[in-house]
Amino acid sequence: MFDAEGRRYLDAYNNVPVVGHGHPRVIEAIAEQARLLNSNTRYLHEAPVELAERLLASMPSEAGFDRALFVNSGSEANDVAWRIARSVTGRSGAIVSEFAYHGVTEATADLSPEEWPRGYAPAHVALVPGPDGYRGRYGRDEPGWATRYGAEVGTAVAAMEGRGTPLAAMFVDPAFTSDGILCPPAEYALEALRAVRAAGGLLVADEVQAGHGRFGDVMWSFQASGITPDVVTMGKPMGNGYPVAAILTRSELVDGFADRTGFFSTFGGNPVACAAALAVLDVLEDEGLLANAATVGARLLQGVEDLGGDHPSVGDVRGKGLLVGVELVKDRSTREPATELAVEVLNELRDRGFLIGVTGRAENVLKIRPPLVFGEAEADLLLGALDEALSSIHR
Amino acid sequence: MFDAEGRRYLDAYNNVPVVGHGHPRVIEAIAEQARLLNSNTRYLHEAPVELAERLLASMPSEAGFDRALFVNSGSEANDVAWRIARSVTGRSGAIVSEFAYHGVTEATADLSPEEWPRGYAPAHVALVPGPDGYRGRYGRDEPGWATRYGAEVGTAVAAMEGRGTPLAAMFVDPAFTSDGILCPPAEYALEALRAVRAAGGLLVADEVQAGHGRFGDVMWSFQASGITPDVVTMGKPMGNGYPVAAILTRSELVDGFADRTGFFSTFGGNPVACAAALAVLDVLEDEGLLANAATVGARLLQGVEDLGGDHPSVGDVRGKGLLVGVELVKDRSTREPATELAVEVLNELRDRGFLIGVTGRAENVLKIRPPLVFGEAEADLLLGALDEALSSIHR
């Protein structure tokens, strides 16, 4: 990326341009289809059919998914998933993690405690702790720690039922990006799903953050846990910047909802949006970007861990594929979050021409989440710059 | 438009391609900016600033608008407008017309009785009759009929307050498109706004349907009534098919909301979306499309009225600019809606290569809403085809 003065930046932050900024195949697909026709799905067109078939085929067959609905943003996708869950269960209870983010509409803002105004707490939403093995209530050294976090879902369900609000759905970003990039082991999702199913609720996997191959060895981040959610939502990376999002699920969950509400989105699934989304799927495959995310991600993760040897402020390193969280602390024994340091590192890196973000409740976790075309050379450049940034700030 | 077999159609239905299908200036703007950069508004960029300034300048100065928020669809725009209204008033009551449509998210679906499942009626939403002077409770021949419809808003407010649900906002499409294209005289909006203000609520003008110059003599349909709403939302035509939408309002209504909730939309206001929206504004101006909508719309309206002389099924003709509603009836004296006939006419026209829609509670109102490049030649072609279609179906 280049700024207005022509300074160049290496983008290690944005998951929207998943196949790289300005990828010519995606732009060509958008321009070509826009020249030809951009209509809505009240008219039959092959593009949404092809996209639905491709996306459904990318899901594990045991999920039994056979329906795709197209909308324009992750917010809309999660909002519609929530409407489906309420409609099919006849219930109004939701579970999300303590610092989750699922969208900007009224319904999804209620599912996003990260953005709740002080003192705001909608009665129908129960919070469960993010499965944090570093500083949470169960430590990574305790046997079964991830399962114990998963069991918190069952506890939350019981409390909600006690208040007369049975569970409609749990929404989960399998990478817990806004909770600080936690990427828990499979036991967490397995136990959480068991609790959700036992309560008669739905599990919605929100792949807006970590989907489209970011984890490297799987297309969808929930697959890393081997679970099969009831609904999958996707957005940000789907059109490499073109606004497009989707809800995938099973016909028995959605057909009644669609019939009763006459569900329709004007822009959702328009031929240009579908062309962009199809081009992204093509590029991911043709350029081997999942394999690249796995290889480069491993190198990056190892490199950041190695940096910990020289920089005591590196308290914990977590991640999978090209999603890496670096938790900064003031002191490794107290693990006190180094919030200011995280912002200083982010700004120092920006001044050196590297873009990253921060995340987590204390905003002390460096968020490294580059486009999946990020190569080994770029990883090494970033690691070098991070080393220099941490060194320059040590006081 | 051409279908898969190469058959051509004249589109007299879609308001999304407001400057015409595949307009080269819009596509060029999209392609050029997509090649350069497509990021989000966490990075400063001139395009959203320019677009905000252009849109704000298009609003009447007495509205005092100084803020624009960008999102991806009319649904998101109305959802965020609703969140703003709730936040600033601290109230939860809404008023919409009896067959309104304002969106597909959970919050806006509640504001969309057109799509409510049978028996569904959210407690916080009060309905007021669409100002129908043809078949409603106040006839167009009664003096002050439009004001009396407007006064229904005051009645609804009082009833809501009696139930302990004071008014946050009234949402209104000034053309009442889904209520059957009613386009009431200014007295309606003036009285409705008076009642809303007296109750301490906000008036949200939903310009998703009739905005961007469709009325011909004004850019925004609320301007035809001379009122100044508190919030204006826009979507469908804004990017000529590129998903982009906006909320315009005053800083004192939105700044607190934005601060408390950390409002942000990933795709909303991205440089490509803004480039598309700016190109649409340019084309509307450079091609004189508002004047065209006024001239051609008047010719179309007169032409349809003239058809009524030969076709007794034409019960009423309403509209403004290039939004024309043709209400079909089985009998002019009973005014019984001719729902089946409307679908037959629509299909007959489609078979003859002309696309229109139907609307209204009884789905007996032909909806003629072409792109604003629709010329006099196209209007005459459509009128001829409509004449033939009505003749061919007479039994």
The pLDDT tens digits for A330-353 are 999 999 999 999 999 999 999 999
Mean pLDDT of chain B: 97
User: Which residue in the block uniquely carries the two structure tokens 């199809």?
Assistant: A278
Instruction: Measure the CA angle with vertex A188, ends A184 and A191; round to 5°.
Output: 175
Q: Are A224 and A242 in contact (CB under 8 A)?
A: no
Tokens representing residue A42 in the block: 């009240």
Alpha-carbon radius of gyration of chain A? 21
Kindly state whether B21 is in contact with chain A, defined as any CB-CB distance less than 8 angstroms: yes
Q: Are residues B162 and B48 in the same domain?
A: yes
Same domain, B239 and B301: no
- List the beta bridge partners of residue B290: none
A112 CA: distance to closest CA in chain B (Å): 10
Which residues, 6 or more positions from A215, have their beta carbon under 8 angstroms from its beta carbon? Answer: A175, A221, A223, A224, A293, A320, A321, A323
Chain B interface disruption, residue of A240, A244, A259, A266, most B CBs within 10 A? A266
Over its C-alpha atoms, chain B yields an Rg (Å, rounded) of 21
Q: Same structural domain for residues A258 and A328?
A: no
Contact in structure between A99 and A130 (CB atoms under 8 Å) = yes
Contact of B75 with B105, CB cutoff 8 Å? yes
Residues A177 and A313 in one domain: no
Give domain status of residue A3, yes or no. Answer: no
**A146/chain B closest Cα distance in angstroms:** 31
Report the domain count for chain A.
2
Instruction: Give the residue from B269, B286, B303 where a domain finishes.
Output: B286
Q: What is the side-by-side order of every strand in the sheet holding B323-328? A: B314-320, B323-328, B365-368, B357-359
Q: With respect to residue A4, please indicate whether it lies within any of the assigned structural domains.
A: no
Q: Which residue has the tokens 């998943």?
A: A18
Burial class (CB in 10 A: 0-12, 13-18, 19+), B7: exposed
**pLDDT tens digits, one per residue of A29-82:** 999 999 999 988 888 999 999 999 999 999 999 999 999 999 999 999 999 999
Whether B233 and B313 map to the same domain: the answer is: no
Flag whether pLDDT at B332 surpasses 70.
Answer: yes
Q: Is A141 within a domain?
A: yes
- Give the pairing of strands A365-368 and B10-11: unpaired
Say if residue A23's pLDDT is above 80.
Answer: yes
**What is the CA B141 to chain-centroid distance, rounded?**
26
Rounded to an integer, the average pLDDT of B331-353 is: 97
Using an 8 Å Cβ cutoff, are B101 and B272 in contact? no
Q: What pLDDT does A42 receive?
A: 87
- pLDDT the model gives residue B42: 87
Q: Where residue A395 falls among pLDDT bands split at 50, 70, 90?
A: low
Burial of B42 (0-12, 13-18, 19+ CB in 10 A): exposed
Taking only residues 89 to 108 of chain B, the set having a beta carbon closer than 8 angstroms to any beta carbon of chain A reads: 104-107
Asked whether residue A5 is assigned to any structural domain, the reply reads no
User: Mutate which of A7, A13, A76, A87 to test chain B, going by most B C-beta atoms within 10 A?
Assistant: A76
How many angstroms separate the CA atoms of A205 and B267, rounded? 21
Specify the residue for token string 């002389």. B309
Contact between chains at A105 and B109 (C-beta distance less than 8 A): no
Q: Tell me if chain B has a CB within 8 Å of the CB of A79.
A: yes
Other Cβ atoms less than 10 A from the Cβ of B199: the count is: 23
Instruction: Note whether A14 contacts B: Cβ–Cβ < 8 A.
Output: yes
Q: Is A47 on the interface with B (CB under 8 A)?
A: no
Mean pLDDT over residues A231-249, rounded?
A: 97
Task: Scan for tokens 């206001």, then name that residue.
Answer: B269
Q: What is the mean pLDDT of chain A?
A: 97
Same domain as B299, residue B272: no
CA separation for the pair A166, A180 (Å, rounded):
28
Q: How far apart are CA A373 and CA A386, in angstroms?
A: 20
Nearest CA in chain A to B77: A105
- Retrieve residue A293's tokens: 């995310």
Instruction: Work out the widest C-alpha separation in chain B, in whole angstroms.
Output: 64
Q: Is residue B137 part of a domain?
A: yes
Contact, B130 vs B182, CB < 8 A? yes
Check which CATH number belongs to the domain holding A167 and give it: 3.40.640.10
Backbone angles phi, psi at A68, to 5 degrees: -130, 135
> Residues A193-206: what's their mean pLDDT?
98
Q: How far is the C-alpha of B105 from the C-alpha of A78, rounded, in Å?
A: 9
Positive or negative: CA dihedral A5, A8, A13, A18? positive
Q: What is the per-residue pLDDT across B228-248, written as a single tens digit (0 to 9) for each?
A: 999 999 999 999 999 999 999
Q: Is the pLDDT of residue A121 over 70?
A: yes
- Are residues A206 and A308 both part of a single domain? no
Question: What's the rounded mean pLDDT across residues B112-139?
Answer: 96
pLDDT single digits (tens) A103-113: 999 999 999 99
Q: Where does the pLDDT of residue A172 fall: very low under 50, low under 70, confident under 90, or very high at 90 and above?
A: very high
The answer to whether position B294 is within a domain reads yes
- Cβ separation B16–A266 shorter than 8 A: yes
Q: Does B38 touch chain A (CB under 8 A)?
A: yes
A242, A231: one domain = yes
Please give the Cα distance from A166 to A158 (Å, whole number).
8
**Percent of chain A, pLDDT > 90?**
97
Residue whose C-alpha is closest to residue A116's, from A98, A135, A139, A133 = A98
Distance (Å, rounded) from C-alpha B35 to C-alpha B295? 38
Do β-strands A354-355 and A10-11 pair in parallel, antiparallel, or remain unpaired? Answer: parallel
Among B5, B26, B1, CA closest to B282: B26
Q: What integer is the mean pLDDT of B342-356?
A: 98
Containing structural domain, residue B179 = 24-286
Mark yes or no for CB contact B243/A36 under 8 Å: no
pTM for this prediction: 0.97
Residue B49, pLDDT score? 97
B349 and B314 in a common domain: yes
Which of B55, B41, B106 minimizes the C-alpha distance to B79?
B106
List the structure tokens of A259. 């019939």
Least Cα separation, residue B88 to chain A (angstroms): 13
Give me the DSSP letters along B5-48.
Answer: T--B-EE-S-SSSTT-TT-HHHHHHHHHHHHH----TTS--HHH
| Chain-chain contact of B37 with A14 (C-beta, under 8 angstroms) | no
Contacts of B37 in chain A (CB under 8 A): 1, 21-22
Q: Is A75 on the interface with B (CB under 8 A)?
A: yes
CA separation (Å) from B237 to A113, A174, B216, B278, B324?
34, 37, 14, 12, 17
pLDDT at A334: 97
Residue carrying structure tokens 């180094």: A338
Chain B interface, best mutation among A14, A33, A75, by max B CB count within 10 A: A75
pLDDT in tens, B64-73: 999 999 999 9
pLDDT at A26: 98
Domain boundary at A286, A309, A341, which?
A: A286
A2 within some domain = no
In a domain, B5, yes or no: no
Q: Is B241 on the interface with A (CB under 8 A)?
A: yes
B117, A261: Cβ pair inside 8 Å? yes
Is the pLDDT confidence value at A394 over 80?
no
Q: What confidence tier does B395 reach under pLDDT thresholds 50, 70, 90?
A: low
Question: Which positions in chain A touch B36 (Cβ < 8 Å)?
Answer: 22
SS3 state of residue B391 = helix
Indicate if B261 and B302 belong to the same structural domain. Answer: no
What is the mean predicted confidence (pLDDT) over A356-372?
Answer: 98
Regarding whether B241 and B344 lie in a shared domain, the answer is no
pLDDT digits (tens, 9 = 90+) for B163-217: 999 999 999 999 999 999 999 999 999 999 999 999 999 999 999 999 999 999 9
Last residue of a domain, one of B223, B258, B286: B286
Residues B153 and B100 in one domain: yes
ipTM: 0.96
CATH number of the domain where residue B309 is located:
3.90.1150.10
